[in-house]
Amino acid sequence: MAPGINRMKTWVLIAAMGGLFVVVGQVFGGTNGAMIALVLAVIFNFAMYWFSDKIAIKTTRSKPVTEREMPDYYRIVRQLATEQNMPMPKLFVSEMMQPNAFATGRNPENASVAVTRGVLQLLDERELRGVLAHELSHVANRDILISSIAAAIGMSITFLARFAFFFGGSDDEGGGNIFALLLAWILAPIAALLIQMAVTRSREYQADESGAFLSRDPDALASALIKLEQASRKVPPLASVSPAEAHMFIVNPMNALQARGRGGITSLFRTHPPTEARVERLRVIASELRGERGPIG
């Protein structure tokens, strides 16, 4: 598998989002309005980026664990971190019974990894190792930074479209028609969100790929994803976990709500690629590692 393809797709999507921002800004907000919206969004998302680890740990009610309490957890992560040439992250456990895991932190030096009680009960050691390799790859790939960039531009587009609708000039002043402004107010944020979701899906593929090569056991990660997908449709997450945080988990924690018809608008926007597609890609990597076929594009 070509390692740089998903990375390139991510930056193409971010560039597309940036282009959408420029178009919306020039048509409806003008240069000054566009710059103000961008500055405000960057400030907000910089704060989210800087404190993302603390926010994620708090909302999932995760608690730090010591090596004496969970020696196997520490052993697996330490081995993977050494292979990845990154510092040992802080380790946490959430009391969520939905099997899931996430990593956060603005860089490898400030990383945190958390697993739920449910995932510890569901997966065997090989599968857990595959999941943890995936999560460490998110940190090594600087996915928190990339997500923050995408979120900053997406928020800017939303802010700008709404600013243009409520404060745009009249037709006599050269402003857009009220119906065009209303259309922009509705469609521009949706377009931004769709691109942002595409960015997160691309990062999941990249973390699957990086994690598979890190663990050298793509079949274990594929097996874990199948189990996690099935379990996530049965056990809802903590009430404190919001749809806005779904992208940071290895599988979407909102699956149970969507399966019961209570997912609302979250069911329209996938934060993760289909598990079947992820598993298929991992099977290809497994074949590649066994030398059965050449890399895919």
Model confidence over 177-217: pLDDT tens digits?
Answer: 666 666 666 776 676 677 677 778 888 999 999 999 999 99
Q: In the prediction, which pLDDT does 259 show?
A: 53
Could you tell me which residues come within 8 angstroms of residue 150 by beta carbon, excluding any fewer than 6 positions away? Answer: 13, 14, 17, 195, 196, 199, 200
Q: In the prediction, which pLDDT does 42 show?
A: 66
pTM of the full structure: 0.75
What single-letter amino acid sits at 52? Answer: S
Q: In the prediction, which pLDDT does 100 show?
A: 95
Q: Are 277 and 270 in contact (CB under 8 A)?
A: no
Q: In the prediction, which pLDDT does 267 show?
A: 43
* Catalytically annotated residues: 135
Q: How far is CA 239 from the centre of its chain?
A: 19
Residue ranges of the chain with pLDDT lower than 50?
A: 1-3, 169-176, 261-268, 295-297
Phi, psi of 92 (to 5 degrees): -135, 160
Q: Are 191 and 20 in contact (CB under 8 A)?
A: yes
Q: Are 194 and 269 in contact (CB under 8 A)?
A: yes
User: Residue 95 in 3-state DSSP?
Assistant: coil
Question: In angstroms, rounded to a whole number, what is the distance separating the alpha carbons of residues 132 and 148?
Answer: 22
Q: In the prediction, which pLDDT does 241 show?
A: 78
Q: Are 253 and 263 in contact (CB under 8 A)?
A: no
